[in-house]
Structures are given as structure tokens and as C-alpha cells.
Structure 1
Amino acid sequence: MIEAVKFWNEPNNKSHWDLQLDPEWTAYAAMVKLAADAVRAENPALTQVLGGISPIDAGFMTRLREQGVLDRLDAVAVHGFPLDWNNWMIDEWPSRIAEIEAVTHLPVWVTEVGVSTFGAEEVQVFGLERTAKLLIGRVPRVFWYSLYDLPKAWPATTRHREAEGSSYYRHFHMGLLREDGSPKLACELFPRYTPDLGICQWFHFEDHRLDDAVSWLKRLGVRRLRTGLSWADSFRPNCDAWFDRQMRALEDFDVTVTFCFTPEHRGIEPHHTSPPQQAEEFAEFCARMVRRYAPGVASKRHGPSGPALHAQSGGALTL
């Protein structure tokens, strides 16, 4: 079921990693190396991917390579939204990929790409068609962001100025489906590009959309799904019950799981973007999730909370 794990989301984006606390990314680099080693010990065959970078920055990738991070990984990832936030044109996608390929020996995945319907649904249709033509076959994995519009009652915060891409009102219009679950124009076209084109859909804790999302993903012919398991959520009551429910619901897909979000009480500062006080704790969370949902050898293990879900990598979940 789980084909890959990712370490964090957009670590070079100040809205996802506190660059004032870690301006040279030394804490991030150390955290990823510990997490990668911990995951490798649990399942050596599991593909490990660097958190998707945004902006696409060869200098940042070089910095991580020089700190030995890429030596631990199997792929790197980039995110791009040229019709909404980035200051480059959509036809530049091949050259943006090439910039990263030039500074690493690893495959480059595109784990978030999308177009909002803020101005018109026809813009998203154009963006979907153009993106598919430019990226399918050019990179090993492409994930469209996203299935659903972000509910307007949910937060979407940013630390960017407007000129840096802070038009987060567009963030609420990135889905193929509206908040109420009704399809947009691009939704009708999406099956033309599956299963080559995957979908990135984040699920909040006890997300009410989970079951409907699974139905839509299957209807659209999606095989590859990117989602997340939140370290911060792991401290909520009944967290394992939610994680189990989420992962069981997604067992028919090839899932790329992103591990991210610092618990406020475990950060240097009380914020989900903060580097952790102890990087080993993030590594332990990653290892526990792999042990629970993608162990290297099928086994039955019992923890303090009772029997856990287990599967061989690529297999079905069992109790």
C-alpha cells in the first residue's frame, strides 16, 4: 500500500519551516538524516523522498546535498504552481526539473502541482491539460493538488508578503471538487490522465471527507495518492484510531505518506513549523508509522494500545 515516505512538506518555504530558527537548514538536515536511518532500519525497501521544495531552488538542493542529506534518500521532490503563485510560466516546467536534476543524482518527483479556479474554471482545465503534457513521462511521479477545495472555515496561513506569493485566497480553490463535493469542469477531464497522474489530498484529523474522497479517487481512476501523517496529531486523544481508519480507507492505492508538523510542545518555538527540540523524536515517529503501516516483513506485533495494523510494503493491511 505505502510505496514511499516523505520527510516534511516544503522545508524551504517559510510558511512550513521556520527559517529564522534554522536559517541554514542544519536542523532540518540533521532531522531528515536521523529519520531516514530510522525508516531504513524498519523497511530497507521503502522509497524515501525529500520533502517537496517550494520554490524550486537548485541552491537549496545543493545545500542539502553538501550536508549529506541526499545520500540517505531515493528521490527528491518539487512543488510548482506557475499559474497561481510562482513567478515563472507553465511551459518552463521542463527547465525547472532540469535545474534540480543538474545538482543531484536522484530522480525528481513532482509531488504537488495544480491550478486554482479562483478566476475561472476554464483556467484549471487549461492548466491540467498543459501540466499533463509537460510532466507525464518526464518525471517518475506527478501528484495533482488537490481533490477538494479547502473548506473556507479552515485556516490557510502564510508568512509571505503579497509579492512573494501570499495570495492564499487562491489556496481555497485548488480542488477538482468544490467544498460541497460537487465536480468542477477539470474533474471531468482528469480520468484521461490517470493512472499516470496521481492526486495529493491532505486529510485533517478525523476528516469528514475521507470516505467520499476514496469514492471519488476510484471513480477518477487514481492509483497513486499522496497524503500525510501528522506528528502533531499523534499527541491527540485516539490518534492511532484515526490513523488506522485513514490508512485502512486508502489501502487500495499506492500511497506516498508525508511525515510532518511539529507538535507545539515539542518545538523550539510552539508552532508546527518549528524545528523540534529533539530531532530523534521525529525520527521515532517516522519509524513507528512505518512499523505500523509498512513494515519490511509481515508480522503481528502488539503495542501498549493493542494490536496494530501491519502489511508487507505493497500489500494489504491486516490486524
Structure 2
Amino acid sequence: MIEAVKFWNEPNNKSHWDLELDPGWVRFSEMAQLAAQAVRAESPGVTRVLGGISPIDPSFMVLLRDAGALRDMNAVAVHGFPLDWNHWQIHEWPDKLLEIQAVTPLPVWVTEVGVSTFGAEEVQEWGLKRTAELLIGRAPRIHWYSLYDLPKAWPATTRHREAEGSSYYRHFHMGLLREDGSPKLACARFHEFAPELGICQWFHFEDHRLEEAVRWLKRLGVKKLRTGLSWADSFRPGADAWFDHQMAALEDFDVTLTFCFTPEHRGLNAHHTSAPQVPAEYAEFCARMVRRYASAQGAAVGSSAGEVAAV
């Protein structure tokens, strides 16, 4: 069920990691290394991936590398949205991969890439095709973000909120499906690029879209799915029952499972972006989830996923 695990999400994005608490990413590096070691001990065959960085910054990757954060990883990951938020153009994708490949021998996965329909659905349709042309064959894993639009009643995971102007509202239009589940233009094209192109879809706690999402993913020919289990949610009443339900629903996919979000009562600050008070507690959560949802041997780490490299 679990092909890979990812440790955190966008650690160089202040919407996901509090940089003021950890300006040199020393705490993050310790936390990531402890978690990778714990998962390796629990299930050595499960691929261990550093949380996708955004922006794509080779100097940040060097910082983490030199701090030891990559020592027990099998791959690193990047996120890119050149048609919406990045200060580079879509045709630069190959160069962006090369920038990271130049500073680490680990395979570089693209675990979030997408195009919003904020301006027009035709932009997303074109962007899907162009992204597939640029990335398939260059990255071992590619996860399109996302299947569903973010419901307008939910907040986007960002520190800036409406102060971002139109950039904030683009968060709500990244899906191949609208909030009501109806397909957009790009949805009809996605099967042309599957299964080489996977999908990233986050499921909220007790997400009502789960079963319908599974039906759509199968209809689109998706084999590789990235999602997450929230460390913060693990303290909710009924958390294990929901996690069991979610993972059982996804059993037909090769799942890359992201572990992130600090419980407020376990952070240095009471916020999900905070460094934890005790980094080993995050590692224990990762190990427990792998123990619960991955076999002892785990998925084989093949050449497509990348062998363990000394960093």
C-alpha cells in the first residue's frame, strides 16, 4: 500500500514551517533525520523522501544536505507552479531539475506540479500537456496537484491569506474537478499521461470526498497517488479509525504518504508550522504509521524509485 513516505511538506515555505523559530533549519534537519532513521528501522524497503521544497532552491538543498537531513533519504522532492506562483517559466522545468541534481546524487521527485483554472480552464489544459512533455522521463515520480478544487469554505494552507490578492484565490482552482465534482477540460486529457503522471490529493480529516475520489482516480488511470496523514490529526478522537478508513480506500494505489503538521500542544509555538518541542515524537508518529500501514519488508526500492545513496 505504501510505496514511499515523505517527511514534511515544503519546509522552505513559511506557510508550512515557522522560519522564525528555526531560521537555519537546524531543528528541521534533526527532526527529518530522526524520522528517516525510525522509518528505515521499521520498514527498510519503503522509500524515504525529503518533503518537497518550494521554491526550488539548490542552496536550500545544500543547507539540508550539509546538516545531515538527507543522510537516510532515498530521494528528494520539489514542487513547482510556474504558471501560477513561481518566478520562472514552464519551459524551465528541465533546468530546475538539473539545479537540484547538481547538489545531491539522490533522485529528484516532482511531488506537486499543477496549473490553476483561476483565469481559464484552457490554461490548465495546455499546462497539463506541456508539463507532461517536460517531466515524463526526467523525474522518477510526478504527482499532478490536484484532483479536486479546494472547497471555498475551507482555508488554503498559507500564512498570507487574502493579502496575497489573486495569488491566494488560485489555491482554490487547482483541481481537475470542481468543488461539486464536475470535470474541467483538463480532466478529459489526463488519461493520456497516466500512469506516468500520478496525482497528489490531500484528504482532510473525515473527508466526504474520499470514496468518490477513488472512483475518479481509477477512471483516470492513476496508479501513483500522493496524500498525507496529519500528525496533528492523530490526536483527534477517532483518528486511528479515520486513518484506517482512508488507507483501506487507497489500497489499490502505490501511495506516497506525507507526514506533516505539528500538533499545537506539542509545538514550540501553538501552530501546525512550529518545530516540535521533542523531535523524536514526530519520528515516533512516522514509525507508528509505517508499522500500521506498511508490511515489515515494505515496497522494494527499485531503480525507478532510486537506491539509497550516501550523502
Between 1:180-189 and 1:157-166, the stretch displaced more is 157-166
CA distance in 2, matches of 1:161, 1:263: 21
CA shift, 1:163, in A, is: 10
Distance 1:166 1:229 in 2: 29
| 2:16 counterpart SS class | coil
Classify the secondary structure of the residue corresponding to 1:258: strand
For 1:132-168, what per-residue CA distance to the aligned partner results, in whole angstroms no more than 9, with x for missing partners? Answer: 0000001100000000000000011433599989811
Higher mean alpha-carbon deviation, 285-294 vs 156-165, is at: 156-165
**C-alpha separation between the residues in 2 aligned to 1:254 and 1:16?**
25
Partner of 1:100: 100
Q: Deviations over 1:206-256 (max 9, x none)?
A: 000000000000000000000000000000000000000000000000000
Report how far residue 97 of structure 1 moved.
0.5
Kindly report which structure 2 residues correspond to 1:250-289, keeping only aligned pairs within 5 A, or say none: 250-289=250-289
* Structure 1 Cα separation of the partners of residues 169 and 248 of structure 2: 33
Instruction: Identify the structure with bigger relative contact order (alpha carbons < 8 Å, sequence gap 6+).
Output: 2
Q: What is the Cα deviation at residue 69 of structure 1?
A: 1.4
Distance 1:163 1:126, change over 3 A: farther
Alignment of 1:113-262 (within 5 A): 113-160=113-160, 167-262=167-262
* Secondary structure, counterpart of 1:72 in structure 2: coil
> Helix, strand or coil: the match of 2:45?
coil
How far residue 274 of structure 1 moved from its aligned partner, in angstroms, is 0.2
Q: What do the CA deviations read for 1:161-197 (whole angstroms, capped 9, x no partner)? A: 9998981100000000000000000000000000000
Query: Matches of 2:49 and 2:164 in 1, distance apart?
Result: 26
One-letter amino acid matched to 2:119:
G
Contact kept? 1:158, 1:166, Cα under 8 Å:
no
Structure 2: distance between partners of 1:38 and 1:242: 23
Matched letter for residue 89 of structure 2:
M
1:49 is paired with a residue of what secondary structure?
A: strand
Letter in 2 for 1:295: S
- Distance change (3 Å), C-alpha of 1:238 and 1:275: same
Any residues of structure 2 matched to 1:84-99 within 5 Å, and which? 84-99=84-99
Larger deviation: 164-173 or 211-220?
164-173
Measure how far apart 1:111 and its partner are: 0.1
Runs of 4+ deviating beyond 6 Å: 161-166
Q: Shift of the alpha carbon at 1:109?
A: 0.3
Shift of 1:295: 3.1
Task: Say which SS state the counterpart of residue 91 (structure 1) adopts.
Answer: helix
Distance 1:174 1:67 in 2: 34
TM-score (norm 2): 0.94
Q: Superposition pairs for residues 12-51 of structure 1, below 5 Å? A: 12-51=12-51
Q: Give structure 1 stretches of 5+ with no counterpart.
A: 298-311, 315-319
Aligned residues: CA RMSD: 1.5
Partner of 1:194, secondary structure, is: coil
Residue pair 2:47, 2:299 contacting (<8 A) in 1 also:
no
> d(CA) in 2 for partners of 1:273 and 1:166?
23
Consecutive unaligned residues of structure 2, counting only runs of 5 or more, are 301-311
Q: d(CA) in 2 for partners of 1:267 and 1:226?
A: 25
Structure 2 letter corresponding to 1:296: A
* Counterpart residue number, 1:304: none
Deviation (angstroms), 1:313: 3.8
The 3-state SS of whatever aligns with 1:275 is coil
Corresponding residue of 1:65: 65
- Alpha-carbon deviations, 1:254-313, whole Å to 9, x = none? 00000000000000000000000000100000000000001324xxxxxxxxxxxxxx54
Equivalent position amino acid for 2:250 in 1: L
TM-score (norm 1): 0.92
- In 2, the alpha carbon distance for the partners of 1:94 and 1:296 equals 36
Distance in 2, Cα, partners of 1:313 & 1:75: 15
